[in-house]
Amino acid sequence: MTDWRYWLARQRGTLIAAGIFLVMFILYTSRHPAGFSASVVQTAANKGVLLAFVAMAQSLVVITAGIDLSVGMIFILTNCLASWITDGTPLQTAAGVVAVLATGLACGAINGAIVIYGRLQPIVATIASGAVYYGIALALRPQPGGSVNSDLADALTGRVFGVVPASLIVLLAVVLLIWIPFSRSVTGRAAYAAGSSETAAYMTGLPIQRAKMVAYMLAGLLSAIGGLFVTFFTYTGDAAYASGNTYTLYSIAAVVLGGVSLFGGSGSAIGAIFGALAFRTIGDLLFVFDFDPLWQPLFQGLVLLLAVCLSSVGLLQVRNRLEWFG
């Protein structure tokens, strides 16, 4: 097999997700009264990147065959924290941003430590740690409120040169600074290997524990970036339980739409980003087609159900029934 074919096969999930997103977004902008204008793109980007960051976070952990059900709660926690400390002079704001990111990293490290050294199943462990993170968020913000450095917030949610949404540039920077170095490092390869077959990876002498730890930590960090951004959009911190849960669940949906296998070992964070953007666009499509907004959750659910059912067409190619059981 030639190189590009191999590359194509490996990136299939990511490319399909990107394709779905493009089709939907073109459909969306073609029906939108304002058309394909800078402000339409900006609004869509700002809504999309929040889920994109959380979906990226989820994908890193899912690649190692784990799952992080606390990403939504880290998102909420960092949102509440950011509404306290990212204000004031530029220096104070910068320190605040660093502190918020460090908090996300620490939350991820706690998750990683519980799962790796505590040897607990990630599903239950992160449900429990998520409850703790939510509790802290609620302690920080019993009522919605707070403030944020509006110069920074406006800069990061506005447009650069009047065309490109700044939030997309940040997303791109995060991909270039976090995802690309991670996926190309030994640690990143070990994360894929651990997700594919942990025993084989262990036998090969790959640093599995380090890889998983880094995956959970980066997941915390990426959720925190999402939490920072939601603060920039809303100017407030809000410890909303339902919102945290929704982000966690949507992050799983986005990851699956983005072609990342829930069994681990395949897919990429870039696919998850496109999955997230596509999932957000599905919700918006109904508005431009003049449907009652009441139908939005049903439509979103049906598209998700259809998408996951389509992923099982591979069953038709099974030669031996035992392959059903993976």
Partner 1 sequence: MTDTSSAAPSIGRTIGRRLAGFDPAVLTSFGCILVLLLASSLYSANFLSPAYLLQQLKVASFLGIIATGMMLVILLGQIDLSVPWAVCAGAMMSCALAAHGVTGQIFAIPFGIFCGALIGLVNGFGVGYLRIPSMIVTLATNAVTQGLMVVYTGGFSPQDSASKSMHYIATGFLLPGLPNAVLVWALIAAGAVFALNRTVFGRAVYAIGNRERAAYMSGIDTRRIVMIAFAISGALAAFGGVLLAGYASKAAQSMGDAYLLPAIAAVVLGGTSILGGRGTYLGTVAGVILITLLQSILSVLQIPEFGRQIIYGLVILAMLLLYGRGAKQRQ
Q: Rule CB under 8 A: is residue 114 a binding residue for partner 1?
A: yes
Q: Rule CB under 8 A: is residue 145 a binding residue for partner 1?
A: no
Name the one residue in this structure whose structure tokens are 């920072």. Answer: 228
Within 10 Å of residue 286's Cβ, how many Cβ atoms?
Answer: 18
Name the region of 168 (left: φ>0; alpha: ψ -120 to 50; beta: rest): alpha
Among 124, 155, 176, 186, binds partner 1 (CB under 8 A): 124
Number of H helices, E strands in the chain: 15, 2
233 vs 299 by CB, closer to partner 1: 299
Within 10 Å of residue 171's Cβ, how many Cβ atoms?
Answer: 21
Q: Are 95 and 212 in contact (CB under 8 A)?
A: no
- CB within 8 A of 190, min separation 6: which ones? 201, 206, 207, 208, 210, 211
Find the binding residues for partner 1 in span 200-219 (CB under 8 A).
202, 208
Q: Rule CB under 8 A: is residue 198 a binding residue for partner 1?
A: yes
Identify any residues that bridge with 173 across adjacent strands, giving them in sequence order: none
Q: Rule CB under 8 A: is residue 113 a binding residue for partner 1?
A: no
Q: Rule CB under 8 A: is residue 23 a binding residue for partner 1?
A: no
Among 15, 120, 180, 240, binds partner 1 (CB under 8 A): 120
Q: Least CB distance from residue 298 to partner 1, whole Å?
A: 3
21 vs 279 by CB, closer to partner 1: 279
Classify the C-alpha dihedral 94-96-101-106 as positive or negative.
positive
Among 185, 249, 287, 289, binds partner 1 (CB under 8 A): 249
Site residues (vs partner 1, CB under 8 A):
67, 114, 118-121, 123-125, 127-139, 142, 198-199, 202, 208, 242, 245, 249, 252-253, 256, 262-263, 294-302, 304-305, 308-309, 311-312, 315, 321-322, 324-326
